[in-house]
Structure 1
Amino acid sequence: MSGPNTSYDPVEVAALDPAHLEQAVTDALAAFDAAQNLDELKAARAAHQGDKSPLALANREIGALPPSAKAEAGKRVGQARGTVGQALKKRQAELEAERDERILVDEAVDVTMTPGRRPLGRRHPNELMAQRIADILVGMGWEIAEGPEVEAEWFNFDALNFDEDHPARQMQDTFYIAPEDSGLVLRTHTSPVQARSLLERGVPLYVGCIGRVYRTDDLDATHMPAFHQIEGIAVDEGITMAHLKGTLDRMASELFGEGITTRLRPSFFPFTEPSAEMDLRCFVCRGEDPDCRACSGTGWIEWGGCGMVNRNVLSACGVDPDRYTGFAFGMGIDRALMFRSGVSDMREIIEGDVRFDAQFGLEV
C-alpha cells in the first residue's frame, strides 16, 4: 500500500490556480461595481459568493489536497474570498446610503403644506337661520313650540277666524289631503301652533313656532310651494301694540345689525285686529341711497305680517278676551335668509347644491 502523495502541487488543480482565483476576484469586483441597486447587488453576490461560485468551488477542492498543500491553498483562497467579501460590504454600504438619500427626497413630507381634507357637510343655511331666530326668542324668555305639518282644517282656518268662504280655503291656495271630507290640509302657515299652544299651555303665553308650510304657488325666483316660517304669539294681561313693536325691533337688530328698526303699515289678517304689514329698515343703505337695489331706494324692505290677536281667536281657544290681550307676528325664514345673505333667487336655497351650503360655513 502506497503512502500519501506529499509532492502534490495544488497549482495543478484548475480551481486553485492563482490566475483562476485572481480572475474570479476581478470578475466579482467588477460585478459589484456594476450593480446600480441592492437587488442587482444581491444577484451579483449569489453569482460570486454563492455555493456554485468559482471561489466556493475552489474552497471545496482544498479538502482533497495533501496536508502539505492545504495551508498554502487555503491561504490563497482565503485572501481571495476576503477581498471579495470586503468589496461586497463596501458596495452594499454605498448602495444603502444612496437608497436612504433617495427615500428622504422621494418621501419627503412638507409639514408646512395645508393637508388635503375631505370636505365636511354643513347644516343648511335655512336651518341655521331658523336656529338663530329661535335663540333670539329664547333669549327674550319665550318658548319654542312645534306642530304637525298635516293639520286639521279647524286649527288651520276655523280657530284662526277664517270664514268658510275665505279665499285661502280654496283649492288654488291650499293643499287638501284626500279624500275631500278628510278635514286635513297641509298647513298654509305656522299660525295653527298659536291655537294649539293656547289650548295646551294656557295663558300667559309667549311662544315661537318655526316650521315648513305649503301653498299652491309656482316655483320661481321669489316663490316656493314649500317654504319656512317663524311665528310668534304673546298673550298676557296688558299686552299692547307697543310690546309688539319693541319685540320686532329687537329681533331686527339681532338679525340684521344694531340700529335696524321696523315700521307698521295698516293691513288685514283674519286672526289679528288691528293688523299690520311690518317693514324692515334697509340694512344695506339704511334709507340713505336712492339707488339701493335691496330696498329699491325706499329705505324699507317688506318683512312679514303682524297684529293684535283677534278676540275671536282667543275665545275659540278658551281665553277670556276681556282679561287677556296678545300680539302675533309671522315672517318667512327663506326671505330673511335672502335679505341677510344677498341671495337673489329662492331656487338656489332648495336645489341641494353643496356649494351653496358651503359658503355659509357654520354661521349665517
Structure 2
Amino acid sequence: MTTLLSARDLHAALELRDLSDPADGPHAMQLLLEELLTALTGAWPCTLELQRRRPLVSVEDNYDRLGYAAEDVTRDARYSRYAAETVMLRSHTSAGVPPALRALAATATATATAGADVLLALPGLCHRRDGIDRLHVGTPHQVDLWRIRSGPATGPLDEDDLQQMVELLVGVVLPGALWRTQPARHPYTRSGRQVDVHTARGWVELAECGLAAEHVLAGAGLDPGRWSGLALGLGLDRALMLRKGIDDIRLLRSAEPRIAAQLCDLRPWRPVSSQPPVRRDLSVVVDTPVDDELLGDTVRAALGPAADDLESVHVVTSTGWADLPPAARDRLGLRPDQVNVLLRLVLRPLSGTLTDRRANELRDEVYAAVHRGRHREWAAR
C-alpha cells in the first residue's frame, strides 16, 4: 500500500504559488523563461508550444512512460508524493512530456503532416523530497524543453544540435560563463549529459539533457524512424539565482518588500542586510539509513511556515550502535538498528530578528520531529 498525502498536505501543495506562471503574479522567473524561449525559437525554425500542465499527474506519465524501472528507488513514497495509488504530484516537469507527445502524434496523424519542427516548453512547480540548504528546496520550479522534429529532408536531430541548445541556454542564463558537460544517464534520453557552469563558488549543475529516447517517442505514437528530438530539463530556481547573483533560494519567495521589489526584473541582485546566522547542534537518534532528503522533508513538515527561517540542515556526523560505548547507548536509548546523528541547524530569518528563546523553540520542534530515542533533551523547556 502506497503512503498517500493527507488532504491538508495535498491542498497546501496545490495552493502553492507557481513563480513561473504569470497567472500567479509577475516574477523575474517568468522573464528569464521568456528570454530562454526567445533565444531558442530565434535560432531554430520551429514552432513554440508552451504548455502549463496541472501538477497532479498519472504515475504512468511521471515514471512508466519515461522509462523508469518498476524497482527504481525514486518511486518510493519517501521520495515521491502520492495523492492516490495511480496519481501523484509530479516530481519533475518531464511528467508532461508523454501527454504532450501524444497530442503531437494525434495532430500529426490528423493533418498528415509531412514535416514538423516543434519546441515543447513545459514549465511548472515540482514536488519532491530534498535536503535543506541554500540551493535546494522541496518544491523546485523546472522547465522541460523538448525539440521534436520529423521529415526525411532535414534528417534526425543529433548531438551537434544538442550542443547548440546547451550553448544557447548557457548564453541566456549566465552570459560568458565557462561551462562543461559530463555523461549522465536518464531513462528518457540517450547520449545523456549533465550541464555545469563555473561560478565564483566552483562548478554548479545547471541542466540535464540528451537526445530523446526512441522508446519515449514510440510510446507516444511517434515513429522513431521519422521523428527525433532533443530533451533538456532546467531548474528555473537555480537558473534565476545564477542570473541575478542570488545565493539563497529562500529569497525567491520572500515577501519582504526590499527583497520582493528586486524579483520583478533580471538586474543583478543588490544584497539586503540580513540577521547573523544562529547555529544549533542536535544529538539525535534516528532510524537507518540516514537520508538528508528525508530529514529535510521531516523538518519542513514539522516547522510549517517557520521552515523559512532555516538556512540549512546538515548531518555533521553519524555514529552506529557498534561504534558507541555502552554508556552512550544507554544515555541515548539507542537500538542496534539506529544511529546517533549530530544534526546542525543554521537559522537565519530573511526578515525580522531571531531571539535565543525563539531559536531554542525551533530547535526543540526539529528535535521532537526527528529524534527516535527513548530519552529527550530540550533547550526551551
Q: Please state if 1:266 is matched with 2:183.
A: yes
Q: Given the superposition, is the C-alpha separation of residues 143 and 219 from structure 1 closer, same or farther in structure 2, using an over 3 Å criterion?
A: same
Whole-Å separation in 2 of the counterparts to 1:362 and 1:222: 20
After TM superposition, the runs of 4+ consecutive aligned structure 1 residues lying more than 6 A away are: none
**Conservation of the 8 A alpha-carbon contact between 1:269 and 1:275:** yes
Q: State the partner residue of 1:63.
A: none
User: Does the Cα contact within 8 Å between 1:147 and 1:192 map onto a contact in 2?
Assistant: no
Alignment of 1:1-364 (within 5 A): 123-140=26-43, 141=46, 142-178=48-84, 181=85, 183-202=86-105, 204=116, 205-236=118-149, 237-257=155-175, 259-260=176-177, 262-280=179-197, 282=198, 293-295=200-202, 300-364=203-267
What code does the residue aligned with 1:294 have? R
Larger radius of gyration: 1
Q: 1:201 is matched by which residue type in structure 2? A: L
Alpha-carbon contact 2:134-2:250 (below 8 Å) kept: yes
3-state SS of the aligned residue for 1:318?
coil
Partners of 2:178 and 2:226 in 1: CA distance: 30
CA deviations over 1:244-277 (Å, ceiling 9, x no partner): 11011012213322x4464321111111112111
- TM-superposed deviation, 1:345: 1.3
**How big is the shift at 1:354?**
2.5
Deviation digits for residues 21-72 of structure 1, max 9, x if unmatched?
Answer: xxxxxxxxxxxxxxxxxxxxxxxxxxxxxxxxxxxxxxxxxxxxxxxxxxxx
Contact kept, 8 Å, 1:138 with 1:144, in 2: the verdict is no
Alpha-carbon distance in 2 for matches of 1:137, 1:184: 33
| Secondary structure at the counterpart of residue 185 of structure 2 | strand
Could you tell me how far apart the structure 2 residues matched to 1:261 and 1:201 are? 36
Q: CA RMSD in A?
A: 2.1
Percent of residue pairs bearing the same amino acid type: 25
How far, CA to CA, are the matches of 1:138 and 1:343 in structure 2?
Answer: 28
Instruction: Report which stretch shifted further, 354-363 or 169-178.
Output: 354-363
Question: TM-score, normalized by length of structure 1?
Answer: 0.57
- Secondary structure in structure 2 of the residue aligned to 1:243: helix
1:260–1:220: structure 2 CA closer, same or farther, 3 Å change rule? closer
Amino acid at match of 1:231: D
What's the CA shift string for 1:1-37, capped at 9, x where partnerless? Answer: xxxxxxxxxxxxxxxxxxxxxxxxxxxxxxxxxxxxx
Q: CA deviation at 1:177?
A: 0.3
CA distance in 2, matches of 1:361, 1:345: 17
Q: In 2, are the aligned partners of 1:156 and 1:188 still within 8 Å (CA)?
A: yes
Distance 1:301 1:247, change over 3 A: same
- Supply the AA of the counterpart residue of 2:138: P
Distance in 2, matches of 1:176 and 1:318, equals 27
More strand by share: 2
In 1: Cα distance, 2:253 partner to 2:264 partner: 17
Alignment match, 1:15: none
Rounded to whole Å, the distance in 2 between the matches of 1:255 and 1:264 is: 16
SS at match of 2:247: coil
Aligned mates of 1:124, 1:354 — CA distance in 2: 14
Q: Secondary structure at the match of 1:148?
A: coil
Question: In the comparison of the two structures, how many residue pairs are matched?
Answer: 225
What is the rounded CA distance, in whole Å, between the counterparts of 1:128 and 1:219 in structure 2? 27
Amino acid at match of 1:345: D
- 1:234 touches 1:326 (CA, 8 Å); kept in 2? yes
Structure 2 unmatched runs, 5+: 1-24, 109-115, 150-154, 268-381
Cα deviation per residue 1:253-311 (whole Å; 9 max; x = unaligned)? 13322x4464321111111112111123x3x6xxxxxxxx332xxxx432111111112
Asked if 2 retains the 8 angstrom alpha-carbon contact of 1:232 and 1:328, the reply is: yes
8 Å contact kept, 1:219–1:347: no
Q: Cα offset for 1:338?
A: 1.3
